[in-house]
A and B are shown apart, each in its own frame.
Chain A
Amino acid sequence: MAIIEVVNVDKIYNDSEVKVTALSNINLKVEKGEFTAIVGPSGSGKTTLLNLLGGLDTPTNGKIRVGDVWLNELKGSKLIDFRLRNIGFVFQSYNLIPVLTAGENVELIMQLQGVPAKLRKQVAADMLGKVGLADRINSRPAKLSGGQQQRVAVARALASKPQFILADEPTANLDGKAAENLLQIMEQLNQTEGVTFIFSTHDQRVVSRARRVIQLEDGKIKSDFLQ
């Protein structure tokens, strides 16, 4: 069974004067272990789609299943708790809590999950090792480069043992080398540990690393192919 299923989803923003149809009639399935890029021009609906998949926002029409749960059946604190245990997030920038060290940022999510302190420390060190930042465990985000911060965010997402990780333009604020490096790490995690990644991007070099590419245009899926 696919871990994500999107059925007839529309997203219409109604709150301003003009009605904006950000997504219309989206149907989509994502399997475990995918490494999928969502691409498309600015305003095509990439962020909107990822927000819906992550349970951060609700579709206007249609429904979305994650694992064996239909997201529209969850509300409020239940939905937050569902995200905590099932979905990893990496945002475009400023992912980390500035007053916590890299290690503490990774630990925080496990603390929210109720993982005991000793295990947390161990896993945090482990995860930071996987993203190549074992030696920066005690650094505050301000002391890390943009690329390093994004890698810590990946480690944090990883530490929560999610069903999949959503990353909305994770490389948008990084230079070519750092972007390359981040993608390499994500790819490696995907290949060796089977972590499912769904990320959006503008960057052609990033797109070329994806195995599946879903192209959006004006809120519709224009193409969906494996490469």
Chain B
Amino acid sequence: MSYIKMAQRNLWRNKRRTVITISSIFFAVLFAVVMRSFQLGSYSLMIRNAIEQYYGFIRVQHPDFTDDPSLENTFEIDPNLPVKISKVPNVKAVTARLETFALASSGNITKGVLVLGIEPEAEKQFSNPEQFLVRFTIPMAVWDSSDKKLALSDKVRKVLAAHMGESFTDAAKLASIFKDQPIDSMQLNQILHLSRVQGRFISNGDSGVVISSMLAKFLNIQVGDSLVMLSQGYQGASAAGIYPVVGIVRIPNPELDNRMVYMPLQMAQSFTNTHNLLSYMAINLQDVSDKALMATTDSVRKVLANSGLDVKTWQDLNKVLVQQIESDNQSGKAFLFLLYFVVFFGIFGTVIMMVHERMHEFGVLVAVGMQKVNLALTVLLEMLMMALIGIALGYLVALPIIHYYHIHPIRLTGEMAKMMIDMGFEPLMPMAPFDFYVLWQGVSVIFMVSPACIYPIRKILKLKTVEAIKR
């Protein structure tokens, strides 16, 4: 009869109590892992959308550009520099950009836009906007039944009307708007045919521009239309131009999708009269952990020593985003702390009951010759087993869930989706994959059970045999 076996049997002695205790640990772990996974998943999505697909993890720029991102704070570089930077370990891609603001108009609609002069080939390696090229846009047609040419049901027309002007990068994404209203493949083919967009991404030396999908919808622009742009150029010169739109991209970051105009770097430089000046060079990384980011930033600084340029991390430049993530992260942790605190009292209550029920038994054991330390150990073992079973069950259920929703993120629809888009987030709720945060939940439970163990241990070590037996 080993102590482990004895602890096991003791667990089954009051089944209901054990089941309740284990379940409370199970639910706490399950909830904590899933909640943390959602949180951390949303942070990494935010970072991926904002940083990897546009901002860059590290930026090289004029020292005054942070405070005043105007054309006056631009710089010229040695053409070998990007190559040198790309050779720094952990650097995935380097791209040079000229960035400015402009008014864009089409017909009598005008909107402020972000003009990004890019090196199209380098940019493909960097943020790869080409992957977001729009292939389908639901036309701004009148989707009512008066149109007899299309054999569409009223419900399908209603869905189309609700998505008027919305763009999609592939047919499957377009088809997904019909997930609550199934349609047959003939109708879908008809819709795809009507929605098809012939666009392409700009290449080096191109004479056209690519604009983002929400901007295109706002300005009511299609591929082949022209975009008129007005701005202030370098050193007060005025800048104006008219450019053919050769493609539309749907950028997953709604804030950017609202106002982006991509043009080849040389075109942007001649538009703004900046000759060969750049706003910044952006760098993406293989390993994006904080530690790797710091190390790579230092290496890049060494490459750029004496150039008079600043090397900044995305965290330096996006204090608001970092703070948002940090405060959300802290409140998530505080919530979990509260959760574990509540569970702790549940467990503590069980432990007190258990000890009082077994005082006589403890007395008998010590009387016949069991050392108090060993007795305390068996009780400790019992509680540890309870905790471990709860943790294991929690993991058993939580891990497949987070794995599944990591690979198939939940896509929000309706009001929730609108709200998130309005706040500038992609309406996706991905879960973070398995990582240390999962292990931390188990460790937290152990930390929580430990103080609950102090009670029985104290009770046993201070046990007065004669009194315990009398009970």
A residues sitting closer than 8 Å to B (CB atoms) are 51, 54, 56-57, 77, 80-81, 83-85, 89, 91, 94-95, 97-100, 104, 107-109, 111-113, 156-157, 160
Contacts and interface: CB of A to CB of B under 8 A. Distances in A.
Contacts of A84: 368-370
Contacts of B370: 80, 84, 112
A81 B374 CA distance: 12
Given A51-B466, A97-B364, 15 more contacts: A56-B367, A57-B466, A80-B366, A81-B369, A89-B367, A91-B367, A97-B365, A99-B12, A100-B6, A100-B9, A107-B1, A109-B369, A113-B369, A156-B368, A157-B368
Given A91-B469, A99-B6, A99-B9, A112 B369 contact: yes
Contact of A83 (B6, B10, B369): B369
A116 B465 CA distance: 28
Interface string B450-469: 00000000000000011001
| Majority DSSP secondary structure for residues of A touching B | helix
Contacts of A112: 368-370, 374
Q: Report the 4 A-B pairs with minimum CB-CB distance, sorted nearest first.
A: A84-B369, A99-B9, A104-B1, A56-B465
B364 A95 contact: yes
B361 A109 contact: no
Nearest to A92: B469
B360 interface: yes
B372 interface: yes
B318 interface: no
Nearest to A85: B369
19 contacts: A51-B466, A56-B367, A77-B372, A77-B373, A81-B371, A83-B368, A83-B369, A84-B369, A94-B360, A95-B364, A98-B13, A99-B12, A100-B1, A100-B6, A104-B1, A108-B1, A113-B369, A156-B368, A160-B369
Nearest to A104: B1
A91 B1 contact: no
B367 A83 contact: yes
A89 B10 CA distance: 23
B376 to A, nearest CB: 12
A105 to B, nearest CB: 9
Contacts of A94: 360-361, 364
